[in-house]
Amino acid sequence: MRCFYPVISPSNLRFLSRCRLFNASSPKPQESAATHVLRRNSLSMNVAVNREAFRQAVANTLERRLFYIPSFKIYRGVAGLYDYGPPGCAVKANVLAFWRQHFVLEENMLEVDCPCVTPEVVLKASGHVDKFTDLMVKDEKTGTCYRADHLVKDFCNEKLQNDNTMTADKAAELRHVLAVLDDLSAEELGARIKEYGITAPETKSPLSDPYPFNLMFQTSIGPSGLIPGYMRPETAQGIFVNFKDLYYYNGSKLPFAAAQIGQAFRNEISPRQGLLRVREFTLAEIEHFVDPEDKSHPKYSEVVDLEFLMFPREEQTSGQSARTIQLGEAVSTGIVNNETLAYFIGRVYLFLTRLGIDKDRLRFRQHLANEMAHYAADCWDAEIECSYGWIECVGIADRSAYDLRAHSEKSGVDLVAHEKFSEPREVEKLVIATVKKELGLAFRGNQKMVVEALEAMDEKEALEMKATLESKGEAEFNVCTLGKNVTIKKNMVTISKEKKKEHQRVFTPSVIEPSFGIGRIIYCLFEHCFYTRPSKAGDEQLNVFAFPPLVAPIKCSVFPLIQDKKYDAVAKLISKSLTVAGISHKIDISGATIGKRYARTDELGIPFAITVDSTSSVTIRERDSKDQIRVNVKEVVSVVKDVTDGQSSWADAKGRFPAHSSVSADA
């Protein structure tokens, strides 16, 4: 339990982060530019050192107490693979149980469980086979592979933190590179690597030019090897391909949501940052199917008044910071595209904060226009700040109807919904008919992406193109997936509006998709709940995980005050009753002092400790305040159950039962 690192609490870390963001960002009065650069760089170095110390303290405690450890450790492990130990498994199970309660049960979702092995044709239709890539470079001498953007990011961060001679202009340039890193092409990344003289980290050898590497694990299905497949990179496709059956199961009614929890696999080029970037991980994903013409939500009023940090794209592009915005205001002013998307943003906020994520280190960042696919209506990421910076943990996207259309086209099965009319209606429909022969001659291998972009146009954009084609014979058209404008000629597409009578409306539903990276959420939770406090003697720092009872790996501990047969018997009786009540607990009848036993349970994040010091009554100690109450033996299990289940609070329990004071209990 003895710590040999600086004492850093989460609040200290927040303060240091704010110092870096604000105090170092602009010169003080009467301060020269050179002095400002030195002060800024010095402060950045201090923040980096303190963040690293805090991170190491958390990591050491997590591994020592077996929350998680590197997989195959006796064989020196494999990067990007981790095993959860007993307390880690319990935290993960509790997080997933609450996810099911908060989303699947409360929203009446349809839960499915689909295979991890996925045929190639499915992932070809979804675009993963062609587009699920990262840019990679190789050490030209050893062949070791690295992610190109990671090398550039590490270079920029190292220079910003440690180069005291760097000018303000150069610092601004490097910060700009970090801001647009995800948008750089292979050629642009390669140019930065050459300009900055970046070499292989281990050998300092030259690097190859960046090239795309598909992140999926490839396999074959069956002994013949004739059916190519992949380990799924996400769970969503299993839901999309089952839409028709799920729609029927739901009584052929919209809206409805399907959910899935399962393993996903990504063959990361250079996994790092512990649980934040791994090769096998748990995803919890929701696909909420909704009428594209009606994205209202019946429970929107329940979240409309929530206020939290939001980072709209306008603030990002103008260099401003995230700000507190009321969710209803975000919808009414058009910051968030629609009510259903906003509803899920609000529900995600409630889920994360109830788990124990610090609301001051949680923000919702809107994707920039160049981050979104051409078919997406709006996308937001729930980002959590930890010692590694702001980490994307949940993506909430309005994916329009792209996924169902893609699988309909590839499979030949209509994945559509129906709205029956009480009386026939005369409707005017937009028809976009692409001439694939002409588009193929003009765009060859890019034909499919151009066709998809044309067919995804909304009515306003399509009619504007129609007018331009009729007046000029050709029109400039931006294809997001190509990252450039193309010229569309009049003979390549026909755009018209047709009137006809319909007895029903047939349409492809839009999809609102919240996708949760469970491992990332859990790691951020570990950091947000970790702190140290001095021992009673003041000679060491004791580690504490302040998990809420909801996610704590063990709900309470039970131990006799001293080794005595009659106290041991009472402790075992309480343990048996806790088991019957379904309360996880740890019984400790060792001869260690009561203070040391408290410290051991605090380090595991156990919120309550039952101490047997008589045969008729016991004390219950709360972890963070260290306050104790005295409770009759017959009532102790019901008290613990009520508090850990959230039926009552610790404050309620303190109001019901007498306080107990001990001058020597804690270490």
* Cα Rg of the chain (Å, integer): 29
State the pLDDT at residue 597.
92
State the pLDDT at residue 418.
94
* Residue 133 pLDDT class (50, 70, 90 cuts): confident
* Residue 263 pLDDT class (50, 70, 90 cuts): very high
**Tens digits of residue pLDDT in 135-194:** 999 999 999 999 999 899 989 988 888 888 888 888 888 888 887 787 788 999 999 999
At 130, list the tokens. 């062609």
Distance of CA 370 to the CA centre of its chain: 20
pLDDT > 90 in the chain, percent: 68
Find the helix packing angle between 518-529 and 33-64, rounded to 10°: 100
Mean pLDDT for 370-389 is 89
At 16, list the tokens. 């240091």
Q: How many CB atoms lie within 10 A of CB 46?
A: 14
**Tens digits of residue pLDDT in 409-461:** 999 999 999 999 888 888 888 899 999 999 999 998 899 899 989 998 888 89
State the pLDDT at residue 662.
67
**573 vs 3, which has greater pLDDT?**
573
- What average pLDDT does the chain have? 89
pTM recorded for the entire structure: 0.82
At 566, list the tokens. 């009659």
State the amino acid at position 228 in one-letter form. Answer: P
| DSSP symbols for 18-75 | HIIIIITTSPPTT--HHHHHHHHHHHHHHHHHHHHHHHHHHHHHHHHTTSEEETTGGG
**Tens digits of residue pLDDT in 279-326:** 999 999 999 999 999 999 999 999 999 999 999 999 888 878 899 999
DSSP symbol at 554: S
Greatest mean pLDDT among 11-25, 422-436, 599-613 lies in 599-613
Tell whether the model's pLDDT for residue 611 goes beyond 90.
Answer: yes
| DSSP symbols for 379-436 | EEEEEEEETTEEEEEEEEEE-TTHHHHHHHHHH-----EEEEEEEEEEEEEEEEEE-H
Integer angstrom CA distances of residue 220 from 45, 115, 229, 410: 49, 14, 5, 20
Tell whether the model's pLDDT for residue 367 goes beyond 70.
Answer: yes
State how far the Cα of 349 lies from the Cα of 333, in Å rounded to an integer: 20
3-class SS of residue 355: helix
419-440 burial code (b ≥16 CB/10 A, e <16): eeeeeeeeeeeeebebeeebbb
Tell whether the model's pLDDT for residue 223 goes beyond 60.
Answer: yes
State the pLDDT at residue 26.
39
